[in-house]
């Protein structure tokens, strides 16, 4: 059976023409037009995977460039057997090689390429050496480059020199006063490859030389003067050598191409296949197509399918299913309602998938691979064969019945039409039964109410209709499966102006059973519309809830992200506070050490008192800085003027004063805070003006320029022996404060036994000290009553 005719009825050839327009060169176009659906399930899966991979790669990397190349199999086969081929044919071979090289370069940039496409790309064999040899030697289809060989370059140089010599001699002749009156024109021309001058025929004997040509009128003779004969002869000889060298170069290039003929021909064939595959991908983008699920069990489920040959601005997406819950679909409804389009869409989509094309439908659409796709669609009345419409349809259906089996998709348009309605309906039902016995999957359109009843009463057969809007007298082209269609003849006629009495009389003439059936269908249609409205509302609410859920999840994710950012910010701030506390603690320890070294100074008492006061103030500032609730910000503040060296500033984020020691460098300025020099952003500084500077210790105090490390060795005992009470208590306070900073738990205070006055003063002071938890006298081995052991909080 001629299956090509059935696919043509489904208009597959028009889709293949669309595909051919996307190809890059003639052979690919011809092969695209000749594509036939594959009936092998695994082959179809392979074709779909290739197109899907090309579709994905095109989205990521763009479509590869394939030049408009020529078929070079013929020239290559001639070259393979030793024949020389033309310059144009060699250039075509170079163009094929350049295209192969470009595709291989494009392949190298791609990732995650499917194995099927990779296999095709692996068939492409590059030959840059042959490509460069051809393109460097040949300038055009008629010209070899001078650099094609050294001999050719040398010969052509000699030809130019000989020509210049001949022209020089002839220029003297044509500009000579002696010969001027003999010449028709003062020009030098060429005849038969030799330089000549035009001489008046009456003066032919005045110019000695060889006559090579005569003008049409006979008034002019083209004479080669004897003085240039030798130069012309030399040019003639050189031309012969040039042609010999050209023939040798072409033969060498032809032989080189012939060596790789098989590789290039195989690569060219792979080029055709790749061009068609990427043409399928480009067509899929134009159709907004998706990858279908390919099955082999006869199930077809098209979701929002759009017929590719209908203008995208006017096409109405439709859902079509067959083969899962029912094997036969009976489509009814008024003419021009879209029944035939639905039928063709069903068959065409299966055929397209079997050709490896993606489908203009939603993701998740399913098609099956059938052994036969048989269609009887359209008016096939034949005057030549004296066949009526009914006879033509029956002829096709007989052939379909002879071919159909359990893996066949049968599409029947207007089944049983063109004859008596009663007989036609009965015949249609009988044909459907026979096809169902064969196990076929069937979709048929009809106007017969009997077939609607057949579908209602027969398991595995389902009604469907193309929706029609009676109010506007226009179809919506939506296929409604599970709903028998109404002819709407009365409503349409009445809307078009047919009298009400005629319509009422027509209803009276209808059988009661038919009227009841139409009423049932009408009620079903009304219920369907109501349910569809409720379904649309439920879908809208579900989509709204889904959007809210997504918004909530997005908000939750944002809150989680914000929480992580806040935690990280808090960690950073805590780290900064710890570093500041370490810095200030170290500075305090350094200052304590410095004061201790100056205990012999006469101002020692005043310095100690002042240091103690400053110590308490700094401890309060450290406590404030460690409070995480206090937020320090410099937002909204701008420096009143440009900072200069010597300015007092406040470092906002650490609440520390400093002095500018260098002019600003861009957005940063170098500041000395205490003994630390650092670069601080201008946004983090406030200028301190009109405030007295802090008093500093006298010059007798040496300010240390380096700090001790915090992990320095801290003493756990202090020796107060030999000190006055006031001096001893000051030293004790400084020692306790430094011990607290160093996180010591227990300290030893050596006061000696003596009169006991110093011991009594120390213990009285310890009772009142806020950092002391408890204390005791030493025991045997610790110093007994000469020492006091204190536990710190």
Find the mean pLDDT for residues 715-741. Answer: 83
Amino acid 603: pLDDT = 63
Whether 717 maps to a domain, the answer reads yes
* Residue of 204 and 234 predicted with greater confidence: 234
Taking residue 334's Cβ as centre, other Cβ atoms within 10 Å add up to 21
Distance CA 132, CA 370 (A): 50
The 3-class secondary structure across 425-492, one letter per residue, is HHHHHHHHHHHHHCCCEEEEEECCHHHHHHHHHCCCEEEEEEEEECCCCEEEEEEEECCCCCCCHHHH
Find the mean pLDDT for residues 180-193. Answer: 78
| Residues in the chain, overall count | 793
Alpha-carbon distance values, 8 to 4, 76, 443, 497 (Å): 6, 37, 18, 41
340 labelled ligand-binding:
yes
Residue that is last in its domain, among 287, 306, 336: 287
Which residue(s) pair with 155 in the sheet? none
Please tell me whether residue 37 adopts helix, strand or coil conformation: coil
Q: Does residue 369 sit in the same domain as residue 480?
A: yes
334 labelled ligand-binding:
yes
Taking residue 311's Cβ as centre, other Cβ atoms within 10 Å add up to 7
Please tell me whether residue 40 adopts helix, strand or coil conformation: coil
Phi-psi region of 175 (alpha: psi -120 to 50; beta: other; left: phi over 0): alpha
User: Could you read off the pLDDT of 554-573 as tens digits, one per residue?
Assistant: 888 888 888 888 787 777 77
Amino acid 693: pLDDT = 47
679 labelled ligand-binding:
no
Mean pLDDT of all residues belonging to the chain:
82
Q: Does residue 99 sit in the same domain as residue 151?
A: no
Taking residue 430's Cβ as centre, other Cβ atoms within 10 Å add up to 11
Whether 507 maps to a domain, the answer reads no
Please tell me whether residue 411 adopts helix, strand or coil conformation: strand
Q: Does residue 338 sit in the same domain as residue 283?
A: no
Amino acid 347: pLDDT = 94
Query: Shortest CA distance to 191 belongs to which of 209, 174, 204?
Result: 209
Amino acid 203: pLDDT = 76
User: Could you read off the pLDDT of 281-290 as tens digits, one per residue?
Assistant: 999 999 999 9
Q: Does residue 110 sit in the same domain as residue 152?
A: no
Whether 506 maps to a domain, the answer reads no
Whether the per-residue pLDDT at 360 is higher than 80: the answer is yes
Amino acid 598: pLDDT = 66
* Residue of 716 and 39 predicted with greater confidence: 39
Whether the per-residue pLDDT at 214 is higher than 90: the answer is no
Structural domain of residue 348, as residue ranges?
293-491
Find the mean pLDDT for residues 311-326. Answer: 88
Distance CA 745, CA 742 (A): 9
Query: Shortest CA distance to 199 belongs to which of 238, 173, 234, 172?
Result: 173
Whether 573 maps to a domain, the answer reads no
Q: How many domains does the chain have?
A: 4
Residue 23 sits in a domain whose CATH number is 1.10.1420
Distance CA 640, CA 351 (A): 80
Distance CA 616, CA 762 (A): 20
Whether 551 maps to a domain, the answer reads no
Whether the per-residue pLDDT at 593 is higher than 80: the answer is no
333 labelled ligand-binding:
yes
Residues in Cβ contact with 405 at an 8 Å cutoff, skipping those fewer than 6 apart: 371, 372, 438, 439, 440
Sheet holding 685-688, edge to edge: 676-681, 668-673, 656-660, 648-651, 685-688
Amino acid 384: pLDDT = 40
Distance CA 366, CA 351 (A): 13
Q: Per-residue confidence at 707, pLDDT binned at 50, 70, 90? A: very low
Residues in Cβ contact with 308 at an 8 Å cutoff, skipping those fewer than 6 apart: 15, 18, 287, 348, 352, 360
* Residue of 36 and 203 predicted with greater confidence: 36
Tokens encoding 99 = 């295209």
Alpha-carbon distance values, 52 to 49, 287, 489 (Å): 5, 14, 46
23 labelled ligand-binding:
no
Whether 466 maps to a domain, the answer reads yes
Q: Residues 335, 489: contact at Cβ < 8 Å? A: no
- Most distant CA pair in the chain: distance in Å? 161
Which residue(s) pair with 673 in the sheet? 676
Tokens encoding 87 = 């310059």
Task: Please count the CA atoms within 13 angstroms of the CA of 495 that sit on its side-chain side.
Answer: 11
Q: Does residue 303 sit in the same domain as residue 369?
A: yes
Q: Count the helix, strand and coil residues of the chain and give each as a percent rounded to the nearest 5.
A: 50, 15, 30
Tokens encoding 484 = 């028998």
Find the mean pLDDT for residues 757-765. Answer: 87
Whether the per-residue pLDDT at 210 is higher than 70: the answer is yes
CB under 8 A, 24+ apart: contacts of 92-96:
93/130, 93/134, 93/257, 93/264, 94/130, 94/131, 94/134, 94/135, 94/138, 95/67, 95/69, 95/70, 96/69, 96/70, 96/72, 96/264, 96/267, 96/268, 96/271
Find the mean pLDDT for residues 137-148. Answer: 91
Whether the per-residue pLDDT at 302 is higher than 90: the answer is yes
User: Could you read off the pLDDT of 88-123 as tens digits, one per residue?
Assistant: 999 999 999 999 999 999 998 887 777 788 889 999
Find the mean pLDDT for residues 734-759. Answer: 83
Please tell me whether residue 108 adopts helix, strand or coil conformation: helix
In terms of DSSP bridges, do strands 372-376 and 408-412 run parallel, antiparallel, or are they unpaired? parallel
Query: Shortest CA distance to 481 belongs to which of 465, 468, 493, 460?
Result: 465
The highest-confidence range among 387-391, 596-600, 743-747, by mean pLDDT, is: 743-747
Q: Residues 39, 371: contact at Cβ < 8 Å? A: yes
Q: Per-residue confidence at 661, pLDDT binned at 50, 70, 90? A: confident
Q: Does residue 265 sit in the same domain as residue 227?
A: no
Residue that is last in its domain, among 462, 491, 520: 491
Q: H helices within 499-511, ranges in order?
A: 500-509
Q: Does residue 460 sit in the same domain as residue 325?
A: yes
Residue 175 sits in a domain whose CATH number is 1.10.1420.10
338 labelled ligand-binding:
yes
Q: Does residue 347 sit in the same domain as residue 331?
A: yes
Amino acid 607: pLDDT = 64
Amino acid 714: pLDDT = 60
Could you write out the DSSP letters of every residue in 385-400? TTB-HHHHHHHHHHHH
Residue 323 sits in a domain whose CATH number is 3.40.50.300
Cα 234–chain centre separation: 66
Distance CA 472, CA 9 (A): 31
Sheet holding 787-792, edge to edge: 717-719, 746-750, 787-792, 772-777
Query: Shortest CA distance to 373 belongs to which of 335, 415, 338, 345?
Result: 345
Q: Per-residue confidence at 630, pLDDT binned at 50, 70, 90? A: very low
Query: Shortest CA distance to 679 belongs to which of 701, 663, 695?
Result: 663
Distance CA 140, CA 157 (A): 20
Q: Does residue 40 sit in the same domain as residue 166?
A: no
Amino acid 217: pLDDT = 79
Whether 368 maps to a domain, the answer reads yes
Distance CA 607, CA 75 (A): 108
Q: Does residue 264 sit in the same domain as residue 281?
A: yes
Provide the terminal-to-terminal Cα distance of the chain, rounded to the nearest Å. Answer: 104
Residue 761 sits in a domain whose CATH number is 3.30.1370.110
339 labelled ligand-binding:
yes
Amino acid 74: pLDDT = 94
Which residue(s) pair with 772 in the sheet? 792
The highest-confidence range among 276-280, 475-479, 583-587, 725-729, by mean pLDDT, is: 276-280
In terms of DSSP bridges, do strands 194-200 and 772-777 run parallel, antiparallel, or are they unpaired? unpaired
Q: Per-residue confidence at 602, pLDDT binned at 50, 70, 90? A: low
Q: Residues 492, 470: contact at Cβ < 8 Å? A: yes
Q: Does residue 120 sit in the same domain as residue 224?
A: no
Rg (CA), the chain: 52
Q: Residues 149, 119: contact at Cβ < 8 Å? A: no
Whether the per-residue pLDDT at 397 is higher than 70: the answer is yes
From the number of C-beta atoms within 10 Å of its C-beta (0-12, 13-18, 19+), residue 241 rates as middle
User: Could you read off the pLDDT of 368-379 as tens digits, one per residue?
Assistant: 999 999 999 875
Whether 666 maps to a domain, the answer reads no
Q: Residues 305, 271: contact at Cβ < 8 Å? A: no
Distance CA 75, CA 270 (A): 18
Amino acid 709: pLDDT = 39
Q: H helices within 682-791, ranges in order?
A: 725-741, 757-768
pLDDT above 90 as % of the chain: 34
Tokens encoding 569 = 């910010």
User: Could you read off the pLDDT of 51-64 as tens digits, one per residue?
Assistant: 999 999 998 888 89
Whether the per-residue pLDDT at 465 is higher than 50: the answer is yes
pTM to 2 decimals?
Answer: 0.62
Whether the per-residue pLDDT at 488 is higher than 70: the answer is no
Q: Per-residue confidence at 520, pLDDT binned at 50, 70, 90? A: low
Residue that is last in its domain, among 491, 512, 527: 491
Find the mean pLDDT for residues 216-232. Answer: 81
Q: Residues 733, 596: contact at Cβ < 8 Å? A: no
Distance CA 229, CA 223 (A): 10
Q: Does residue 353 sit in the same domain as residue 435?
A: yes
Which residue(s) pair with 210 in the sheet? 224
Positive or negative torsion for Cα 18, 24, 27, 31:
negative
Tokens 């064999």, located at residue: 125
Tokens encoding 422 = 């009663």
Query: Shortest CA distance to 162 belongs to which of 247, 229, 243, 244?
Result: 229
Lowest mean pLDDT segment, chosen from 214-228, 469-483, 614-628, 664-678: 614-628
């Amino acid at each position: 059976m001629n299956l090509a005719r059935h696919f043509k009825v489904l208009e597959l050839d028009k889709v293949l023409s669309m595909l051919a327009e996307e190809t890059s060169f003639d052979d690919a176009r011809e092969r695209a037009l000749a594509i036939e659906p594959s009936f092998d399930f695994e082959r179809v899966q392979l074709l779909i995977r290739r197109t899907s991979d090309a579709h994905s790669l095109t989205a990521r990397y763009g479509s590869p460039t394939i030049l408009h190349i020529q078929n070079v199999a013929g020239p290559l086969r001639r070259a393979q057997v030793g024949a020389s081929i033309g310059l144009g044919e060699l250039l075509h071979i170079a163009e094929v090689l350049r295209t192969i090289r470009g595709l291989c370069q494009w392949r190298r940039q791609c990732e995650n390429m499917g194995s099927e496409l990779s296999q095709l790309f692996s068939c492409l064999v590059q030959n840059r050496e042959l490509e460069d040899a051809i393109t460097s030697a040949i300038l055009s289809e008629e010209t070899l480059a001078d650099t094609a060989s050294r001999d050719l370059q040398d010969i052509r140089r000699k030809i130019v020199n000989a020509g210049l010599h001949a022209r020089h001699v002839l220029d003297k002749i044509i500009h000579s006063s002696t010969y001027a009156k003999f010449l028709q024109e003062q020009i030098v021309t060429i005849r038969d490859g030799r330089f000549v001058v035009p001489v008046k025929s009456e003066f032919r004997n005045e110019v000695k030389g060889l006559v090579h040509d005569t003008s049409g009128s006979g008034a002019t003779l083209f004479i080669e003067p004897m003085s240039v004969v030798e130069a012309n002869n030399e040019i003639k000889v050189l031309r012969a050598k040039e042609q010999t060298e050209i023939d040798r170069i072409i033969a060498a290039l032809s032989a080189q191409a012939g060596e790789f003929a098989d590789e290039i021909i195989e690569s060219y064939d792979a080029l055709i296949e790749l061009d068609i595959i990427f043409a399928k991908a480009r067509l899929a983008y134009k159709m907004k197509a998706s990858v279908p699920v390919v099955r082999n069990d006869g199930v077809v489920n098209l979701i929002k399918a759009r017929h590719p040959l209908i203008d995208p601005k006017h096409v109405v997406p439709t859902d079509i299913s067959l083969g899962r819950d029912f094997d036969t679909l009976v489509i009814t409804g008024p003419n021009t309602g879209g029944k035939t389009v639905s039928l063709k869409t069903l068959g065409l989509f299966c055929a397209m998938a079997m050709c490896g094309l993606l489908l203009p439908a939603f993701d998740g659409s399913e098609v099956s691979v059938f052994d036969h796709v048989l269609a009887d669609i359209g008016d096939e009345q034949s005057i030549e064969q004296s066949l009526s419409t009914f006879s033509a349809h029956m002829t096709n259906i007989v052939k379909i019945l002879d071919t159909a089996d359990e893996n066949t998709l049968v599409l029947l348009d207007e089944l049983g039409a063109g004859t008596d309605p009663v007989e036609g309906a009965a015949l249609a039902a009988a044909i459907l039964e026979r096809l169902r016995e064969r196990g076929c999957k069937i979709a048929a359109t009809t106007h017969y109410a009997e077939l609607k009843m057949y579908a209602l009463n027969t398991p595995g057969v389902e009604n469907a209709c193309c929706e029609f809007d009676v109010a506007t007298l226009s179809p919506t082209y939506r296929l409604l499966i599970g709903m028998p269609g109404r002819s709407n003849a009365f409503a349409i006629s009445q809307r078009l102006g047919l009298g009400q009495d005629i319509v009422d009389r027509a209803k009276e003439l209808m059988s009661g059973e038919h009227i009841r059936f139409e009423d049932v269908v009408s009620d079903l249609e009304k219920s369907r519309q109501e349910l569809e409205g409720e379904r649309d509302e439920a879908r809208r609410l579900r989509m709204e809830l889904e959007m809210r859920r997504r918004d909530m999840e997005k908000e939750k994710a944002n809150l989680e992200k914000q929480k992580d950012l806040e935690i990280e910010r808090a960690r950073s701030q805590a780290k900064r506070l710890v570093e500041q506390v370490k810095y200030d603690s170290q500075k305090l320890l350094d200052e304590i050490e410095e004061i201790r070294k100056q205990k012999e100074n006469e101002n020692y008492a005043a310095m100690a008192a002042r240091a103690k006061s400053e110590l308490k103030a700094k401890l309060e500032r450290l406590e404030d800085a460690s409070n995480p609730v206090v937020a320090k910000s410099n937002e909204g503040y701008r420096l009143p003027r440009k900072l200069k060296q010597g300015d007092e500033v406040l470092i906002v984020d650490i609440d520390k004063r400093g002095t500018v020691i260098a002019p600003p460098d861009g957005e940063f300025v170098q500041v000395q805070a205490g003994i630390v020099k650092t670069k601080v952003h201008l946004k983090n500084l406030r200028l301190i003006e009109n405030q007295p500077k802090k008093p500093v210790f006298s010059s007798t105090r040496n300010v240390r320029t380096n700090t001790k490390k915090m992990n320095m060795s801290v003493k756990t005992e202090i020796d107060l022996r030999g000190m006055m009470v006031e001096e001893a208590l000051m030293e004790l306070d400084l020692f306790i404060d430094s011990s607290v900073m160093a996180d010591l738990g227990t300290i030893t205070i050596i006061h000696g036994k003596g009169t006991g006055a110093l011991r009594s003063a120390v213990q009285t002071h310890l009772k009142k000290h806020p950092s002391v938890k408890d204390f005791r006298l030493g025991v045997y081995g610790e110093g007994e009553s000469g020492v006091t052991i204190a536990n710190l909080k």
